[in-house]
Structure 1
Amino acid sequence: MTTWITICDTCKREGWESGPMAHTDGEALATLIEATATGLSQVKTRRVSCLMGCKKGCNIAIQSNGKLNYTLGDFEPTEEAASGIVAYALAHSTSQTGQVPYRDWPQSIKGHFVTRHPPLPEEE
């Protein structure tokens, strides 16, 4: 089953305005995640404008139908962060429930979890 990485492309980390401001930090992270996930059939990416986690930017969500879904934040737009996010998404995609054992988490995502969402019910 496909796991989606939803990336906030409007995130700006503290101090963003002191840099070149050509791209937001979220755009920079999105570009790195998209490049890292290129060619993976189990993981897809999409950009959205605002996940409403501004105090913890850069924010992403790991999502799949019928599984636990997660919001992660407070990333720096680095290759290490992007690599860890994609590796976690791959592990999420192979998990039947979406839960990935802590021992299998990439080091670069530890401490970045903000929320966990249970799957929506299939029936009312």
Structure 2
Amino acid sequence: MLKRVEDGPAIVACNSCRLSPETRADGDGVTGGGRLVEALRTVKARDPRYAGIAVQDMACLFACQDHCTVHLRAPDKVGYVMGRFAPDADAARAILDYAVAYADSDHGRVAYSDWPEGVKGHFITRTPPPGFVVE
């Protein structure tokens, strides 16, 4: 059931998420999550600033009320689940830009002034790393 992946900063995207609250897949039958994974990988490949961020995908993050969700995580850092993204390059770039600032932070906390506009309003929850709670 579990598949081992890199243990560094990563965006784990739900590849089975809906395209929108009303629609599961596009005209080609690809889910919104599948399109978001494609966009994340395409944008990442085109910009060396994103080299330190892994893009991983899995089926269902259980955030089904929110379409196109991702989980941002790194060892010993607070993690974040974000959703309600359009599955496109603009959203992918905003997520990756935030991930770079997140990876550079001490504990996963990024100053609001450093948040890309494209992630504001998309946070669903934060998760403490194993063995920690947030003060």
Tell me how far 1:25 sits from its aligned partner. Answer: 0.5
TM alignment of 1:97-116, pairs within 5 A: 97-116=107-126
The alignment's C-alpha RMSD in Å is: 1.8
TM alignment of 1:87-106, pairs within 5 A: 87-106=97-116
- Which residue pairs with 1:10 in the alignment? 16
TM alignment of 1:38-53, pairs within 5 A: 38=45, 39=48, 40-53=50-63
Q: What letter matches 2:56 in structure 1?
A: R
TM alignment of 1:63-82, pairs within 5 A: 63-82=73-92
- Describe the SS at the equivalent of 2:65: helix
Count matched residues. Answer: 122
CA–CA separation in structure 2 for the residues paired with 1:17 and 1:30: 15
What TM-score, normalized by structure 2, do the two folds share?
0.83
Deviation >4 Å, runs of 4+? none
- Describe the SS at the equivalent of 2:75: coil
CA–CA separation in structure 2 for the residues paired with 1:22 and 1:118: 35
CA–CA separation in structure 2 for the residues paired with 1:95 and 1:19: 36
1:58 and 2:65 are equivalent in the alignment: no
Structure 1 regions of 5+ residues with no counterpart? none
Structure 2 regions of 5+ residues with no counterpart? 1-6
The share of aligned pairs that are identical, in percent, is: 30
Instruction: Note if contact 2:17-2:24 (Cα within 8 Å) is conserved in structure 1.
Output: no
